[in-house]
Amino acid sequence: MSILKTAKVCAIIGTRDRDKAKAFYGDTLGFALISEDPYGVVFQMQDASLRITPLAEFTPHQHTALGWNVADVPATVIALTAAGIAFERYSFLEQDELGIWKSGEAQVAWFKDPDGNILSISNS
């Protein structure tokens, strides 16, 4: 059955500080704000949308909550670093000087939003 096959994806992520999250996803990452209401803010991301929902109590997951596939991981890491983003280092992974972990052809780098949600960029 393919009930949702043609539906557009809307990712949802929690925040404790709506204003910081709005600035991070809008100003730092550059997503276009498409709506805002008392229950959250929504950004356009390529073919999907991202709703950021304020929560009084929120603990970020200890795994990647949201990720983007990019054509050039090192160039994207450099651009995001220039925008003020710090990339995560994990002692259990071998990462290069930019914080990129490589496994065969796959490349992944992780960073966090202001709430500690783990985000990633990868080439696959």
Topology annotation, domain 9-58: 2,3-Dihydroxybiphenyl 1,2-Dioxygenase; domain 1 (3.10.180)
Evaluate whether 34 touches 43 at the Cβ level (below 8 Å). Answer: yes
How confident is the model at residue 2, as a pLDDT?
82
* Lowest mean pLDDT segment, chosen from 3-12, 14-23, 107-116: 3-12
pLDDT band at residue 1 using 50, 70 and 90 as cut-offs = low
68: CB partners within 8 A, 6+ apart: 45, 119, 120, 121, 122
pLDDT band at residue 121 using 50, 70 and 90 as cut-offs = very high
Alpha carbon dihedral 111, 86, 43, 121, in 10-degree steps, equals -40
Task: Name the CATH superfamily housing domain 59-124.
Answer: 2,3-Dihydroxybiphenyl 1,2-Dioxygenase, domain 1 (3.10.180.10)
Mean pLDDT computed over every residue of the chain: 95
